[in-house]
Structure 1
């Protein structure tokens, strides 16, 4: 009887260990939805000089009101928040959509702005909103939050992925770190 109990306990321990390994292994094996093009050019062009007037912030921008229309009228980039232009969140497909298949979630924009404030330096958006075709091109999942304007992929030059992921969690974002690719996926 003792031998049977020991065998059952041993089997349960092995099953628990295997389940843990499979569960934890899924975090490092998962393929990224999008690999960033590092680095993104002209990041400083989107910075708001302290001496200039504060640009109008338009987080309510909808898919029917493309950011480039307002930019053409004023000559200034349409700002999503103090440090991020709407253009940084635009779908980067090859013309499958207008660039705005849906609106960006204002709460996501605010939290990414908060994240930038933690480090006091540029945070680079490598993927914001995506149309269905672009999402398929980059291997995104069918239920991707990018297609709802509720996710972004980003990195911060000189900041480790783990440190960036921790700060993103601290500001209230759900985070999926891609250590091997040097960026994090954030969503709300």
Structure 2
């Protein structure tokens, strides 16, 4: 009687070991994580008990995501734009959003907030979509995208500036709203000029 019991236990132990190893090996598969998600996860761990700090972290992560995407799209406009005006706009966007990202990085470091340092998966998809656009339509497609994204960002930054209790974050957002409004107005002028052609 004891032999089947020992054999059964050995078989059961072998089965449990196999399942454990299978589960561990599945977890070890390497997957590139989205930089924005990594930053958000790190911030949740840091600020789980402090709601205001968590909201500030979310604000800075979103602002960094926006700057990184606009910087990359600006580079794309410089290389793929048809008109000189769109190429110049792309150069300005790259410069301004890079400067903004540097200020944001310093602020995030001061506040001990993790922010993404590379364009996100969604941002990369949009970049790829625009980079594959027909060259003759690139200027219009780029301007339409930048116009909409800046319009949305102005609304988001305005709400965030009202929501934050941090004087430094509020000051950063308010200065960015002015910059974004200038970009928005410039894009609107270029759209009108392009429509006349």
For this structure pair, what is the TM-score category when the shorter chain's length is used for normalisation?
A: under 0.3
More strand by share: 1
The TM-score, its normalising length taken from structure 1, stands at: 0.27
More helix by share: 2
Higher Cα Rg, which structure: 2
The TM-score, its normalising length taken from structure 2, stands at: 0.26
Report 1 or 2 for greater relative contact order, CA contacts < 8 Å, sequence distance ≥ 6: 2
